Structure 1
Amino acid sequence: MRTARISLALLAAVTLTSCGAKVSDASGDKQDGKQSGAASGHYPVTIENCGVKTTYDKAPRRVVTNDVGITEIMFALGLEDHMAGYVAPRYKTGRDDKGEAPWKTGYDKVKRLSDKEINKELVLDAKADLVFAGWNYGFGEGNAFTPEALKKLGVGSYVLTESCHNGGSGKSRGVMPPLEALYTDLETLGKIFDVEDRASALVERFKKRVADAQAGVPKDGRAPRVFLYDDGRDKPLTAGAFAGPHDIITKAGGDHVMKDLKDSWVTVGWETVVERDPEVIVINNYGDVSAEEKKKFLMSYPPLAGVSAIKNDRVFVLDYVDLVESPRNPAAVAALADYLKGVRNR
């Protein structure tokens, strides 16, 4: 991504509309038919996100989100009126562009700012006061788009908890189980935006959805071995212990064959896949290569011919937004649990 050229005028404009962190708001205005958080005594509120503490004196009003799962977290919390727009490649939204998204009203109401990469110019043009993104979900040292860089422009940041750097080798990510990361973000954002009741209700509902799915998983018998295939021909990109698929697979009653990888999304060798002999392969449906094309490759790739999932044609497809941290994760657990029941019964 090219380096953004930022004019002094834009910089000044954004600095004047900074994110509400460390900014007083004594206006007492009403929001959504009730007293504002400042007037009601909710603010200031201090939260911790990826190990960084931030104090908000008011709720951000012009949030820009990056990627579809992150955007839908805001929609699920009913925060469309706090958003200036979102960035999401169209190939990652899948059903959304067909009008089938669970939060279609959010997509109808909030402007898509770009279907390409998020950058500083876009954020400044939107007069954003907060960017909600993640490491490798928009934020990256290589493209100079980081919370630190945005802070210098007077723009706040919130980092997707699934993507927190964990201090491991390289830039490995993940500090807690994936569903816990989702619940943590919902609860933390509930505090930031003074919608804690909404957040608590969502978390309770999502936990019940997962518990209901787990209730149908046989307590006796062996869990089917499951591998997540994202993409890649020479080497497959897959999910480690801190990416959404880990909890989706295990809560659905499967044995995640890459559970020992203490990272989120990682590349492995095909020999590792063959050695661990998955009985089911879950395909991540996104990108320029369709799920059908990915399956065709897997079924015809000679090194995989002896793998149980390939021999028995046990391939299950979930969409990108089901598998990254998003409010669709609990439904994905339920869908995969239903599929794995059939695998056990064969």
Structure 2
Amino acid sequence: MLLFRVAALATALGVPALAQAAPTHYPLTIENCATALTFQHAPQRAVTIGQAGTEMLYALGLGDKLVGTSLWFNDVSDQYKAQNDKVERLADNDPSFEAVIGKRPELVAVQLEWMVGPQGVVGTREQFHELNIPTYLMPSDCEGKDNLVGADGTRLQPFRIDSLYKSISQLAQIFDVQDRGEELNAVLNARLERSLASIKGKDLKHTSALFWFSSADLDIDPYVAGRKGIPDFMLNTLGVRNVVESDEEWPTVGWETLAKANPTFVVIARMDRRRFPADDYQKKLEFLRSDPVTRNMDAVKNNRIIILDADAMQASLRLFDGFETLANAIHNSNAAQ
């Protein structure tokens, strides 16, 4: 059913039919974030640490291979709910190392290197590999990025959408479903092109935006999107300037500084997790409209506040939902001519 939906969407978007991809030949070795991973056969049991990888596997029709998930920002997409209900959630946030290996996985797919990496809160790659459990890190979080600098890492190079497509292609290759990966990437790219076409002709040279992900507490500096990261890529692709200049992925910046920058739009994250008070987007809205500094920002006074799923601000399938929402808001706004 999932593959039927992808094929139907491809047809609706005018994506040309793709040639049948060559099957995977095992043993398969791929380079992943400076580590060589070898698979003797397609994994039969996988665990995901991160919503992005979970929904990628569902979209590739591989939900029956998933035996455990963790690290969720939003509820699962409606089209994957029935499949997701069959998979054990090991943790809403970071799982324990013991919980992951207890599922006897033949692959652990990881969205963020601070979960599994040199300082991983779940464990290091070496710990997993010593048990012959390959760890696949999403290239979008390790390529051109230093995850040892800043709370969420620092971008050395701007995020590239190709790294997201690469995750899909490599996961499809690992599981020997390359044709599904190629078709899914074609659909996603077509959606991106349609979003860009919807704002063609708009003069955005004076348009700017701020992405607010969350805050450890509402009365302290917020976590906002820095330069070179995924939200910055979204804005640059659409022709909008990010008012935050830090290269950290999600730096904390004072509201006085942000208010002085006076962005045209404020984009806030909606999430279902509740790690911090500001995870609740309604509390973000209340703060913006009541705080004596933020309530005088043009974006707040003119209700130019855009709400996106938190996972749409990351290298995930929902990134394309985020593009569509942003493009639609810009298209309908009088602030962008």
Q: Same fold (TM over 0.5)?
A: yes
Structure 1 stretch 208-217 or stretch 80-89: which is displaced more? 80-89
CA shift, 1:56, in A, is 2.2
Q: Residues 239-297 of structure 1, C-alpha deviation per residue, up to 9 Å, x if partnerless?
A: 22444322333334432223x43342332232331232111111101243421111110
Structure 1 stretch 61-70 or stretch 131-140: which is displaced more? 131-140
Alignment match, 2:221: 235
- Mark the structure with the bigger radius of gyration: 1
CA shift, 1:236, in A, is 1.1
Match of 1:309 among 258, 283, 299: 299
Match of 1:336 among 311, 320, 326: 326
2:166 and 2:251 mapped to 1: Cα distance?
A: 23
Alignment match, 1:27: none
2:106 and 2:45 mapped to 1: Cα distance?
A: 5
Alignment match, 1:273: 258
Go from structure 1 to structure 2 and tell me whether the alpha carbon gap of 1:151 and 1:322 turns closer, same or farther (over 3 Å shift): same
- 2:241 is the counterpart of 1:255: yes
Structure 1 stretch 227-236 or stretch 248-257: which is displaced more? 248-257
Which amino acid is the alignment partner of residue 150 of structure 1?
F
Alignment match, 1:209: 191
1:301 and 1:324 mapped to 2: Cα distance?
A: 28
Match of 1:59 among 34, 39, 42: 42
Which amino acid is the alignment partner of residue 249 of structure 1?
L
1:124 and 1:268 mapped to 2: Cα distance?
A: 38
Structure 1 stretch 291-300 or stretch 48-57: which is displaced more? 48-57
2:204 and 2:78 mapped to 1: Cα distance?
A: 35
Alignment match, 1:93: 74
CA shift, 1:220, in A, is 4.6
Alignment match, 1:162: 140
Alignment match, 1:110: 87
- 2:163 is the counterpart of 1:177: no
1:306 and 1:345 mapped to 2: Cα distance?
A: 16
Go from structure 1 to structure 2 and tell me whether the alpha carbon gap of 1:263 and 1:187 turns closer, same or farther (over 3 Å shift): farther
- 2:182 is the counterpart of 1:200: yes
Conserved 8 A contact 1:254-1:340: no
CA shift, 1:178, in A, is 4.7
1:178 and 1:157 mapped to 2: Cα distance?
A: 22
Conserved 8 A contact 1:242-1:262: yes
CA shift, 1:60, in A, is 1.8
Go from structure 1 to structure 2 and tell me whether the alpha carbon gap of 1:242 and 1:147 turns closer, same or farther (over 3 Å shift): farther
CA shift, 1:157, in A, is 0.3
Alignment match, 1:320: 310
Gaps of 5+ in 1: 1-36
Conserved 8 A contact 1:217-1:253: no
1:115 and 1:188 mapped to 2: Cα distance?
A: 26
- Which 4+ stretches in 1 moved above 4 angstroms? 173-176
2:127 and 2:68 mapped to 1: Cα distance?
A: 20
Q: Residues 303-329 of structure 1, C-alpha deviation per residue, up to 9 Å, x if partnerless?
A: 224322122121111112222221121
Conserved 8 A contact 2:172-2:181: yes
1:139 and 1:52 mapped to 2: Cα distance?
A: 13
1:170 and 1:271 mapped to 2: Cα distance?
A: 25
Structure 1 stretch 123-132 or stretch 107-116: which is displaced more? 107-116
Go from structure 1 to structure 2 and tell me whether the alpha carbon gap of 1:261 and 1:190 turns closer, same or farther (over 3 Å shift): farther
Q: Secondary structure at the match of 2:30?
A: strand
CA shift, 1:93, in A, is 2.5
1:273 and 1:183 mapped to 2: Cα distance?
A: 33
1:328 and 1:143 mapped to 2: Cα distance?
A: 25
CA shift, 1:338, in A, is 0.5
Count of residue pairs brought into register by the alignment: 301
Which amino acid is the alignment partner of residue 333 of structure 2?
V
CA shift, 1:207, in A, is 0.7
1:205 and 1:279 mapped to 2: Cα distance?
A: 31
Alignment match, 1:151: 129
Go from structure 1 to structure 2 and tell me whether the alpha carbon gap of 1:105 and 1:219 turns closer, same or farther (over 3 Å shift): same
Gaps of 5+ in 2: 1-21
